[in-house]
Structure 1
Amino acid sequence: MLTDERHQLIRDRLAAEGRVLAGELASRFGVSEDTVRRDLREMAKAGQCRRVYGGAVAAALFAAAPVSLRGSHAIEEKMRLARAAVTLLSSGQSLFIDGGTTNAAIARAIPRDLELTIATNSLSVASALSEHALVELIVLGGRFDRNLGTCVGADTLAAVAQLGADLFFLGSCGLDASRGVTAFDSAEAEVKRAMARNSAGIVIAVTNDKLATAAPYRVAGPEAIRHLVVEKTAPAVTLADFERQGAEIRFA
């Protein structure tokens, strides 16, 4: 069986069941588990799945997983994105930073010589900024969702409504040039939309696996994105679609 044929069958299984096991695939294809693991590595690099112990899960399933699980994925890539994203900052700005592991990396990368006002509903972001002496930190309270790692609900929305920001670092579950920014959780999406409305510009730092994907709940159209921070290996065709709609592309 050719490599492309195996990859298509794996994609079909992921679409139908959400996960695959390397041992089962090796038996089905009549190849070694090393061959299957190589297939999964190549597919994961292309953003078609996420490697887990013993096999892989669908990329969308991984994106919807608890933040504690997602935190161990693509650590180096997120650090590079974070370093590129913070070059957009200057002293005196006010920011919204919502949840997500990439946004937590951005919070950790903010230079210590910048005076900023930052409002966040993410406990990870707040923790990363808690000892930043020049940051006026506003923690947006509300109902804490452990899977999301953020506060959501009416109290959070009320707090957001009282504030405005120069930039909103928006954690994206899915990012597509047609559908825009999307999220898996309706309450999370509602808070993101409120922050977007009260911000002068949106910044999204995103790993390749989230490009050209969509989650159920819409947050903002692609035309709302001012800055898109991506990996150097991000598909040029996809990036061109965002550029045509006004996004400035920055490579990490």
Structure 2
Amino acid sequence: MTQTFRHPEILDIARRDGRVTVEGLAEHFGVTHQTIRRDLTDLADAGRLDRVHGGAILPSRTRNLGYEDRKALNAGAKGDIARACAARIPDGSSIFLNIGTSTEAVAAALYDHRDLLVVTNNMNVANILATNDGCRVVVTGGELRLSDGGLIGDLAVSTIRQFRFDIAVIGCSALDAGGDVLDFDLQEIGVSQAILRQSHTSFLVADGSKFSRRAPARITGLSEIDLFLTDQPLPGDLLRRCGEWGTEVQLCPPSTAVSAGTE
């Protein structure tokens, strides 16, 4: 069977099951893993699927992805961004890391840092840093969102207001062409806005997949962010506008490691 016939069936399976795997498709079509990887890459390049580790998922436009899919999507790029972000955080800083798989990658990249105070509303971040002797970790409290370990609501905001952070590191679900930083959950957005108000400096960490996604609610604008770390050139004239706003943009080149999102 040629790829002309495989592609529509792959999309049908993805619509039915929510995701497809390289192993499952190779067995289904009786072709090699390499052939299926090429098919998935072609479909991803056409915007029909998003590649994740071991397969692909339907592209998310106005709904958020599940936690495991978000964690796998562009994992290599998130790691590169996280290491660049960690390099900009001095020892002895007080920082906030919010909900998201990109900020979890930043937490993992802080293993060599010393004398950090890390406040977070992300239980995954707290668990990542639990064995790091160089960090004191404060968890905000709040309503636990079981889907991803996030803590949201008034209690989280109340805790945040008791601090003044050197650096806030936030992620997002989408970034539009006008520079609006977007997300899905209104309670999460309220927490992120509180974080930004209580911080001297703000970092945004977001890989290039966020440029093609949409989300309904606004956290802030890039004009209010001090440093934006990403792996892809900004679309349109957004880079020029960041220069006008005084927002520094740092492109984070890929490491030599193989990206988990491009198996």
TM-score per shorter chain, which class? 0.7 to 0.9
The answer to whether the 8 A contact 1:177-1:241 is kept is no
Q: Is the 8 A contact 1:37 1:55 kept in 2?
A: no
Q: Which residue of 1 aligns with 2:233?
A: 234
1:199: which partner in 2? 199
TM score, norm. by length of structure 1: 0.78
Deviation at 1:99, TM superposition (A): 1.1
Q: Post-superposition shift, 1:206? A: 1.2
Write out aligned runs for 1:1-252 (5 A). Answer: 38=38, 41-42=41-42, 44=44, 49-51=49-51, 56-60=57-61, 64-211=64-211, 213-231=213-231, 233-235=232-234, 237=236, 238-252=238-252
Higher relative contact order (Cα pairs below 8 Å, separated by 6+ residues): 2
Q: Distance in 2 between matches of 1:67 and 1:229?
A: 22
Letter in 1 for 2:84: A
- After TM superposition, the score normalised by the length of structure 2 is 0.75
The AA in structure 2 aligned to 1:143 is E
Percent identity for Structure 1 against Structure 2: 26
| Pair 148,185 (structure 1): closer, same or farther in 2 beyond 3 Å | farther
Unaligned 5+ segments in structure 2 are 1-7, 13-17, 21-33, 253-263
Give unmatched runs, 5+ long, in structure 1. 1-8, 14-18, 22-33
The letter of the residue matching 1:168 is: A
- Is contact 1:207–1:230 with CA below 8 Å preserved after alignment? yes
Are the aligned partners of 1:48 and 1:209 in contact in 2 as well (CA < 8 Å)? no
Indicate how the Cα distance of structure 1 residues 239 and 147 shifts in structure 2: closer, same or farther if over 3 A, else same. Answer: farther
Structure 1 CA distance for aligned equivalents of residues 147 and 240 of structure 2: 34
Count of matched residue pairs: 230
CA contact (8 A) 2:117 2:136 kept: yes
Over 3 Å counting, the alpha-carbon distance change for 1:113 and 1:157 in structure 2 is: closer
Measured after TM superposition, the shift of residue 210 of structure 1 is: 0.2
| Counterpart secondary structure, 2:168 | strand
Deviation at 1:140, TM superposition (A): 0.8
When the two chains are superposed, the root-mean-square deviation of aligned CA atoms in Å is 3.3
